[in-house]
């Protein structure tokens, strides 16, 4: 009985002391501030669609003979029995931009491995494909360049740059490509061939 009473007294004192400690401990507060912003800060990116479109069949010159530049410049489309388009190859390059920024691109040729004709005998001629078929920059001289003399493409060291330009706004450019065998080429006993693809790439 004595122990029970003593225990109860001690417990009571402890509880009171605990109450005092808890009360005094909760009475201290630190200044705090919080505010959530309401204004959205937004950046929406622009868009660019850059397209290279081959609008005709590729050039297919069979049984081709060496010819002069004057003859080569006016090669026309002739559909053969296989439906291939001879004479010239049409393509377009276009950029559709939501914001006007400069985009530099190059048109370059890449020669397929099965080609057997030395590129120094292949004439390359680019026009705008318009009704007047005007030669574009780099092809307006009196002598049409041969493939091997073209500068190296920036985007592909194995390619040759046919043309380069910078779009500063949305635009569409049309091209007409003609290839022929230079007049100084000596025909061989067996048929030879030259196969080239046209590529387009943007450059920095």
Partner 1 sequence: MQDNSSKQILLSVLGVAILIVAVVGVSFAVFTYQLAGQKENTITTGTITMNYTEGQKGISITNAMPVSDDVGKTITNTAGADDTGSDLAGGAGHLEAGASGVFDFNVNATINGSVTIKYDIMAVKKGESTLEDQYAKLYLQKSDAATMASPSDAQVPITYDKLSEASSAATDAGKGLQNAKLLHTDTFTASATHYYRLRMWVDNSYKVDKTARTFTVTVNVYGQAV
Query: Is residue 120 within 8 Å of 166, Cβ to Cβ?
Result: no
Query: Is residue 180 within 8 Å of 145, Cβ to Cβ?
Result: no
Least distance (Å) from partner 1 to the CB of residue 54?
A: 20
Query: Is residue 175 within 8 Å of 200, Cβ to Cβ?
Result: no
Least distance (Å) from partner 1 to the CB of residue 15?
A: 10
Residue 21 as a binder of partner 1 (CB under 8 A): the answer is no
Helix or strand (DSSP H, E) at 15: helix 2-26
Residue 191 as a binder of partner 1 (CB under 8 A): the answer is no
In angstroms, the first-to-last Cα distance of the chain is 97
Residue 82 as a binder of partner 1 (CB under 8 A): the answer is no
Residue 98 as a binder of partner 1 (CB under 8 A): the answer is yes
Q: Which of 105, 92, 78, 89 is nearest to 197 (CA)?
A: 89
Looking at beta carbons only, is 98 or 140 nearer to partner 1? 98
Residue 9 as a binder of partner 1 (CB under 8 A): the answer is yes
Looking at beta carbons only, is 42 or 184 nearer to partner 1? 42
Q: Determine the Cα–Cα distance for residues 64 and 14; give it in Å rounded to an integer.
A: 113
Q: Which of 186, 183, 140 is nearest to 163 (CA)?
A: 140
Sequence-distant (≥ 6) Cβ neighbours of residue 126 within 8 angstroms: 107, 135, 136, 138, 139, 162, 163, 175, 176, 177, 178
Q: 39 to 68, contacts with partner 1 by CB under 8 A?
A: 39-49
Residue 25 as a binder of partner 1 (CB under 8 A): the answer is no
The sign of the dihedral angle between the CA atoms of 16, 18, 19, 25 is: positive
Looking at beta carbons only, is 43 or 143 nearer to partner 1? 43
Looking at beta carbons only, is 49 or 187 nearer to partner 1? 49
Least distance (Å) from partner 1 to the CB of residue 172?
A: 16
Q: 121 to 180, contacts with partner 1 by CB under 8 A?
A: none
Applying CB under 8 A, the span of 10-18, 54-62, 142-150, 157-165 interacting with partner 1 comes to 10-18
Applying CB under 8 A, the span of 26-34, 106-114, 152-160, 187-195 interacting with partner 1 comes to 26-34
Q: Footprint of partner 1 on this chain (CB under 8 A)?
A: 2, 5-6, 9-10, 12-13, 16-17, 20, 30-49, 98-101
């Amino acid at each position: 009985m004595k122990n029970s009473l003593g225990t109860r007294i001690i417990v009571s004192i402890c509880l009171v002391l605990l109450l005092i400690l808890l009360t005094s401990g909760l009475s201290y507060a630190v200044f705090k501030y919080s505010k959530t912003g309401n204004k959205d800060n937004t950046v929406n990116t622009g868009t660019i669609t850059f397209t290279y479109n081959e609008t005709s069949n590729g050039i297919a010159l069979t049984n081709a003979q060496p010819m002069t530049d004057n003859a080569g410049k006016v090669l026309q489309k002739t559909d053969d029995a296989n439906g291939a388009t001879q004479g010239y190859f049409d393509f377009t390059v276009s950029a559709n931009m939501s914001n006007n920024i400069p985009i530099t691109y190059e048109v370059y040729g890449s020669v397929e491995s099965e080609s057997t004709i030395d590129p120094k005998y292949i004439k390359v001629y680019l026009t705008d494909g318009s009704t007047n078929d005007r030669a574009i920059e780099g092809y307006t001289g009196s002598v049409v360049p041969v493939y091997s003399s073209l500068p190296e493409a920036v985007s592909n060291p194995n390619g040759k740059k046919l043309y380069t330009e910078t779009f500063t706004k949305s635009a569409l450019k049309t091209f007409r490509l003609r290839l022929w065998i230079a007049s100084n080429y000596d025909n061989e006993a067996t048929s030879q061939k030259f196969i080239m693809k046209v590529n387009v790439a943007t450059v920095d």
